[in-house]
Structure 1
Amino acid sequence: MEGILDMVQTLIAVLVAITLHEFAHGYVSYKMGDPTPKQMGRLSLNPFKHLDFLGTICLMVVHFGWAKPVQVNPYYYKNRKKGMVLVALGGPVMNFIIALLSIFVMGIILKFTGGQVTVGLMGDIIVFVYGLMQTMAIINLSLGVFNLIPIPPLDGSKILGAILPEDKYFGYMKYERYGYFVLLVILSFNVLRTPLNMMISSMYEGVWFVVSLLLQL
């Protein structure tokens, strides 16, 4: 039973993380004058509009993965480089906000229960919600951090475009078609797993420390 509940919590967390991540990309682009995300149906909270099958499986299994990229047209932006960076950051920033809110809810639960959960249905609900918020925080931190890696099609590759000269960036992006293969190698052989986990753990503990001070836990 516990395994089923863990799976349900992970599935909910993954769907929320991916949906709001991609929605944020599309919304930022749309607010800067680009109608493409809306025309492509990506300004939606329907998870199935945003799921990438392989990326979702990876996120479910190893907590690192990706979604189906939102198509945008930077020619609508007043400043194309700045616009692409803002759009790229939209997804990870949304994930970090969700993680922050999830940890805050965990703190509120501990504050009002004193860490003592009653038996019965109400106790089961509290335990489930606490576990869901914890999973939500971890999944969103993982998705946000992983997407900042500068490998196409991850968001970090778009941010890299604002740093590199245009000719070098487009030369780099010629290898975009190999990006998914590189990501699979990284995930299959645990390349970068240790530093990524250390970063995520530090962020989680840092936010938890701030929340604990705010709520005087």
Structure 2
Amino acid sequence: LEMREGFGQTEGPVLIANFKWIDPKPGSTGKPSPLFNIQLLDSEGNLCDDGEEGTISICDIDKSFPVGLFTGYYKNPELTEKVLGGKNYNTGDMAWRDSNGYYWFVGRNDDVIKCSGYRIGPFEVESALIEHPAVVECAITAAPDPIRGQVVKATIVLAKGYTASPELTKELQNHVKHVTAPYKYPRIIEYVDELPKTLGGKIKRAQIRQKDHQK
């Protein structure tokens, strides 16, 4: 079966996807919808080059407001003006684009981990861990570290038949090093019975980060 991933938000429809008219790339989020002027912007609002991480943005909404994009937050005009009052709508999600125009999702801007000068997206590390048969679910977050600033932490729900142990922790760390890159492996692994989630099933990474900062 062909896997056709896509990216969208509550604030709008599908923005990027492996649509029927393009050949899907495994792991890629696909290409932008032709209904929107979607670009990757850096922290200063400049266009990103291929291979450079940036924020997924719908551009020039001040000139022509796109059909399908939300028009405001309920009873919150201040937030509406902040988000929609400028030239571009910033989704808050990070990605990079390859030379063929395919987009590769990194994660929420506030979820990206900054460890010893490296920027690490949680999505890639989570995808690597899920490949291991011992992992049912996982959440990658930033844990505070006095030397590196932040380190990668994995909160994991184990599959039946597996028990938390130092040996399993080492095995999972080596697995991530092999699948992604050595600097992306989780230096901290916590095993839990379940992950905190919203009613819609999204993992509450902010709640995990808050708990770690209170320790």
Higher relative contact order (CA 8 A, sep 6+): 1
The structure in which a higher percent of residues are helix is: 1
Fold shared per TM-score above 0.5 = no
- TM category (shorter chain) comes to under 0.3
* Structure with the largest fraction of strand: 2
TM-score relative to the length of structure 1: 0.27
TM-score normalised to structure 2 length: 0.28
